[in-house]
Amino acid sequence: MGALRAAVDRYLEKLRVERGYAHGTLDNYARSLARLAERAESLGLDAWSQLRAEQAQTLLADLHRQKLTPGTLRHTASAWRGFFKFLAGEGEVSVNPALGLRSPKLRRKLPEVLDADEMTQLVEVPGDDPDAVRDRALLELLYSSGLRVSELCGVRWRDFDIGDGTLRVTGKGSKTRIVPVGSKALAALAALREQDACGADDPLVRGARGQPLTPNGVRARLKRRANEQGIWKRVYPHLMRHSCASHLLESSGDLRAVQELLGHADISTTQVYTHLDFQHLAKVYDAAHPRAKRRT
């Protein structure tokens, strides 16, 4: 292994061990840095200190011509900047060649959501068979607490305080937070616990043979239940999170509380839901205000 690739591997290990990055995030960083390493090797460079800013910019422009999305390009540039900041800290470079990279502006896409009626239709899974009890708990919890699918798959019964109605989850960067659990989700979890006779170290929601559900397992269950419940939109775990956040913000207007619930490090990430809320307000205004109605 060359010195260039070895430095990349050290950086990825730092992200994994010290920052607790998720497997999928690490894969994205690895792909971004592999592209950079391939270009550096093709240029015959022996050390990262030899890479110039214009060479990094040329590579990013090449990736743009290969039709990579603006979001991917911005993530790629960010990964490169973080990598060279790491190398500077280790004394391997004195200048960050990725610092001034220009990438396409990212047009933020408003998140998809289910409305309150659609969500009620989805989560009220009928039946008392084991699968219905399990899926009802899964759906109610995702919607109640706005969990990421990785957070849901990682929680154990010891993380659940039924008395306080709270759940301790570990999110991005291994950060722990306490989230509230609504009354419907509490009832669904109580039924699940009675059915499965779970121990403290058991997964909160289990799949086959008592193993923790995988993210793909959660997605499959959501898709199946959406079809059975007559929801014909594409339903996926993050849609439940988006819907939870949007409905909370629409009802309360408390952006900081929604940020805390979701575990967003930066409130600008949460602010996308204010745009969604305004979009809803604009539709209501156009339909209801006498001076806003369009002429036929």
Q: Is 172 a catalytic residue?
A: yes
Return all residues near 34 (Cβ < 8 A) that are at least 6 apart: 8
Selected catalytic residue, list 35, 75, 134, 148: 148
Selected catalytic residue, list 172, 177, 206, 223: 172
Selected catalytic residue, list 35, 241, 242, 247: 241
Q: How many CB atoms within 10 Å of residue 31?
A: 13
Q: Give the span between the Cα atoms of 179 and 166, in whole angstroms.
A: 6
Structural tokens at position 237: 């775990």
Number of helical (H) and strand (E) elements in the chain, helices listed first: 13, 3
Q: Is 148 a catalytic residue?
A: yes
Q: CA dist 216 to 106, 149, 209, 212, 236, Å?
A: 28, 9, 16, 11, 10
Q: Is 102 a catalytic residue?
A: no
- Per DSSP, helices labelled H in 181-262 are 183-196, 215-228, 237-252, 255-262
- Are 244 and 146 contacting, i.e. CB atoms less than 8 angstroms apart? yes
Q: CA dist 208 to 130, 198, 201, 212, 217, Å?
A: 12, 14, 17, 8, 10
Phi then psi for residue 178, to 5 deg, are -105, 130
CA-angle at 206, arms to 126 and 141, nearest 5°: 55
Q: How many CA atoms lie within 13 Å of 3's alpha carbon, on the beta-carbon side?
A: 9
Q: Is 273 a catalytic residue?
A: yes
Structural tokens at position 94: 């004195």
Active-site positions read 148, 172, 238, 241, 264, 273
